């Protein structure tokens, strides 16, 4: 009894390549893929295995003892070089991935899961969305070249030869002499004012920095850095520096009164209690009314005496005013909007362990819903929502914090995989979102053959993000669409079931290529030209490699006879329709060129990928 795979082809045992081809050609004409798709696939696998053994024997290699059909198919899949595998993988994309990143192990044996496949609208959506620039490889290469070109221009710029004329040398000497004279005069001024030496230079440097901070109206945080710096600690207690500091604050505008308080606090001083020794310094730095220490003390004593000499009516009036002012302060401090902002700040910090600032209380925004996250350097919105009871899962507020964090994480992911995918952020209508809007959806696009590892990595990243506290507490709502060349084929909607990365990858590798080709065949009119009004079916035949180029292969079956009559080949450059009975999978180079450039040219209804870039060809038969 003969062994598999030759028994499947009706052969007694190992045979030459030509005999294997003839046997396969005879059997495949009698096969009915519509009635027995598993039998057809089994015949196809046997042909692959027998052809491999025939080629091995022709090269003088020892034969491999075959096992069962499943064992032999598994062995051949692992033994075949990438360019000879007739699988649904783009070899060139895999080689590209080896050069650009470490290939992740493929996940197999898992149940394919389809969620909301919206493939039938693959190309129709582009009519309702804004026209986007071509997301093809050429564009990416242009963008990459432009970036590298800029870097190369910086690196390749050579220093121009001096070549100064005598006149230019004289002007340069005059400039240097003028610069040296300015430096000498500045050093003399420093010597006279601050005593010269290293200490004088440091004092002068510190005061120059003070004037610059005041002139440029630097924020309070910059002043805090200066007051904590080594430079300030070196000159802090020197009389010359303190005098210069007081003069600067007296003669220059201070944008934020809190800066005055911070400087005084650095010296352990305050405008509330001032000694005679530090009065002038506190007065100038604190921005108080210009008067002498004696005037200040006299006014204090006068105020004290008057408090005892006022009539009871005035005292009573003062008491009433005091109560009114106190109530006003309490009213302001307990204003609902202020309380709301303070509470939500506190709750956000408790729930997520990050600093939160109210943009409303900090006068950065007119909306009480706006909050700033200094560590993440971004704004979020939050608003009250019922009572806070963590035991019941009630936070007391709602926020778009989770969507903001999700956007940041997906942007990081797209940057890590920029050689393979692109990310677009969408609004609720599916159009591109504005620059300052929090997206409601995302479109992650890859090519048809190079996106498998990217999808696996995306699935792992989504699992990680779903375990973050901000994701579990706020349960963000969004849509994540996966696409080939910006044309969606899968939509994940949250909140809902977990993102099934393995299921999406399985569909992407096994089903999507053939479904895409079937869609193109129908929409281009090839099916109408090939079958007319007769009923027909389109079946997935896997992939085929011709002269080093890999094509998705789909068969056209006559529904009445269940015969395979047409073959459709697609590689993003070409979409070819050819009769099945005249097709030679082992064609030479001349026949291959005729296949790509001959036949009838069919007009393409689409202007960009996934429509073939080189054209649609049809061979009558």
Of residues 532 and 197, more confidently modeled = 532
Residue 206 clears pLDDT 70, i.e. is over it: yes
Residue 404 clears pLDDT 50, i.e. is over it: yes
Q: What is the DSSP letter of 3?
A: P
Residue 153 clears pLDDT 90, i.e. is over it: no
Mean pLDDT of the chain: 79
Mean pLDDT over residues 101-125, rounded?
41
Q: What is the DSSP letter of 430?
A: S
Residue 92 clears pLDDT 70, i.e. is over it: no
325-353: pLDDT as tens digits: 555 555 555 578 889 999 999 999 999 99
Instruction: Count CA atoms closer than 13 A to 619's CA, side-chain side.
Output: 21
Query: Which residues are registered as beta bridge partners of 384?
Result: 397
Mean pLDDT over residues 546-560, rounded?
96
516-551: pLDDT as tens digits: 999 999 999 999 999 999 999 999 999 999 999 999
How large a percentage of the chain has pLDDT more than 70? 71
Sign, CA dihedral 235-236-241-247, equals: positive
Distance, C-alpha 18 to centroid of its chain:
53
Let me know how long the chain is: 621
For the chain, give me the number of helices (H) and strands (E)?
Answer: 23, 14
118: Cβ–Cβ under 8 A, 6 or more apart, which residues?
488, 489, 490, 491
pLDDT at residue 403, rounded to an integer = 96
pLDDT at residue 336, rounded to an integer = 86
The total of other beta-carbon atoms located within 10 Å of residue 96's CB is 16
Ranked by mean pLDDT, the top range of 23-27, 292-296, 437-441 is: 437-441
217-275: pLDDT as tens digits: 999 999 999 999 999 999 889 888 899 898 999 889 998 999 999 998 899 888 877 77
Ranking 153-162, 168-177, 516-525, 612-621 by mean pLDDT, the lowest is: 153-162
pLDDT at residue 189, rounded to an integer = 62
Q: What gap in Å lies between CA 495 and CA 477, rounded to an integer?
A: 5
Mean pLDDT over residues 4-27, rounded?
88
Residue 280 clears pLDDT 70, i.e. is over it: yes
Ranking 25-34, 392-401, 456-465, 564-573 by mean pLDDT, the lowest is: 25-34
243: Cβ–Cβ under 8 A, 6 or more apart, which residues?
none
Q: What gap in Å lies between CA 541 and CA 613, rounded to an integer?
A: 23
pLDDT at residue 30, rounded to an integer = 79
Residue 483 clears pLDDT 60, i.e. is over it: yes
Residue 155 clears pLDDT 50, i.e. is over it: no
Q: What gap in Å lies between CA 370 and CA 585, rounded to an integer?
A: 65
Of residues 425 and 365, more confidently modeled = 425
pLDDT at residue 160, rounded to an integer = 43
Of residues 126 and 237, more confidently modeled = 237
pLDDT at residue 584, rounded to an integer = 95
pLDDT at residue 91, rounded to an integer = 35
Q: What gap in Å lies between CA 277 and CA 596, rounded to an integer?
A: 96
User: Quick one: 115 exposed, middle or buried, by C-beta within 10 A (0-12, 13-18, 19+)?
Assistant: middle
* Runs of H (alpha helix) within 236-311: 239-251, 257-266, 279-286, 293-309
pLDDT at residue 115, rounded to an integer = 39
Ranking 126-135, 323-332, 485-494 by mean pLDDT, the lowest is: 126-135
Of residues 47 and 305, more confidently modeled = 47
Q: How far lies 82's CA from each of 52, 88, 89, 109, in Å? A: 13, 11, 9, 21
pLDDT at residue 344, rounded to an integer = 94
168-195: pLDDT as tens digits: 445 444 445 554 565 556 556 655 666 6
33-82: pLDDT as tens digits: 767 778 888 888 888 888 888 888 888 776 665 555 555 555 555 544 44
421: Cβ–Cβ under 8 A, 6 or more apart, which residues?
414, 444, 445, 446, 451, 454
Residue 324 clears pLDDT 90, i.e. is over it: no
């Amino acid at each position: 009894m003969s062994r598999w795979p030759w028994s499947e082809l009706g052969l007694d045992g190992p045979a030459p390549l030509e005999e294997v081809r003839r046997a396969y050609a005879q059997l495949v004409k009698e096969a009915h893929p519509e009635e027995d798709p598993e039998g057809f696939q089994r015949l196809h696998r046997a042909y692959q295995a027998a052809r491999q053994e025939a080629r091995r024997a022709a090269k003088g290699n020892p034969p491999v003892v075959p096992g069962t059909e499943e064992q032999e198919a598994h062995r051949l899949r692992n033994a075949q070089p990438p360019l000879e595998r007739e699988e649904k993988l783009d070899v060139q994309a895999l080689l590209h991935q080896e050069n650009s990143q470490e290939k992740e192990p493929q996940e197999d044996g898992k149940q394919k899961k389809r969620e909301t496949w919206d493939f039938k609208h693959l190309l129709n959506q582009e009519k309702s969305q804004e026209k986007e620039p071509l997301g093809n490889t050429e564009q990416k290469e242009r963008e990459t070249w432009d970036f590298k070109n800029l870097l190369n221009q910086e690196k390749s710029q050579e220093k121009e030869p001096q070549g100064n004329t005598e006149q230019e040398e004289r002007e340069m000497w005059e400039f240097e002499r003028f610069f040296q004279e300015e430096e000498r005069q500045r050093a003399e001024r420093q010597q006279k004012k601050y005593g010269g030496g290293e200490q004088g230079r440091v004092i002068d440097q510190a005061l120059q920095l003070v004037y610059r901070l005041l002139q440029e109206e630097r924020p309070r945080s910059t002043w805090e850095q200066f007051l904590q710096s080594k430079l300030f600690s070196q000159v802090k207690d020197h009389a010359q520096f303190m005098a210069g500091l007081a003069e600067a604050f007296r003669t220059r505008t201070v944008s934020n009164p809190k800066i005055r308080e911070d400087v005084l606090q650095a010296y352990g001083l305050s405008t509330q209690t001032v000694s005679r020794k530090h009065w002038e310094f506190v007065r100038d730095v604190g921005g108080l009314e210009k008067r002498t220490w004696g005037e200040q003390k006299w006014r204090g004593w006068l105020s004290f005496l008057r408090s005892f000499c006022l009539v009871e009516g005035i005292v009573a009036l003062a008491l009433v005013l005091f109560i009114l002012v106190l109530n006003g302060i309490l009213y302001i401090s307990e204003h609902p909007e202020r309380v709301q902002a303070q509470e939500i700040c506190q709750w956000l910090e408790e729930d997520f362990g990050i600093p939160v600032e109210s943009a409303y209380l900090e006068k950065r925004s007119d909306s009480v819903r706006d909050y700033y996250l200094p560590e993440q350097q971004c704004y979020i919105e939050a608003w009250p929502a019922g009572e806070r009871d963590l035991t019941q899962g009630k936070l007391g507020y709602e926020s778009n914090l989770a969507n903001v964090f999700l956007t940041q994480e997906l942007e990081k992911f797209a940057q890590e995989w920029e050689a393979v995918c692109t990310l677009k952020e969408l609004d609720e209508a599916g159009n591109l979102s504005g620059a300052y809007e929090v997206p409601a959806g995302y479109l992650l696009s890859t090519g048809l053959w190079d996106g498998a590892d990217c999808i696996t990595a995306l699935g792992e990243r989504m699992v990680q993000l779903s375990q973050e506290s901000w994701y579990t507490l706020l349960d963000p709502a969004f849509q994540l669409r996966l696409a080939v060349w910006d044309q969606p084929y899968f939509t994940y909607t949250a909140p809902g079931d977990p993102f099934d990365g393995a299921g999406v990858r399985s569909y992407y590798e096994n089903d999507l290529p053939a479904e895409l080709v079937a869609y193109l065949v129908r929409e281009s009119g090839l099916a109408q030209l090939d079958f007319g009004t007769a009923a027909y079916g389109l079946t997935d035949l896997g992939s085929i490699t011709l002269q080093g180029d890999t094509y998705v292969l789909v068969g056209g079956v006559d529904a009445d006879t269940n015969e395979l009559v047409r073959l459709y080949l697609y590689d993003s450059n070409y979409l070819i329709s050819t009769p099945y009975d005249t097709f030679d999978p082992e064609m030479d180079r001349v026949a291959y060129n005729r296949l790509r450039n001959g036949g009838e040219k069919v007009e393409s209804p689409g202007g960009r990928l996934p429509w073939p870039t080189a054209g649609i060809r049809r061979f009558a038969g």
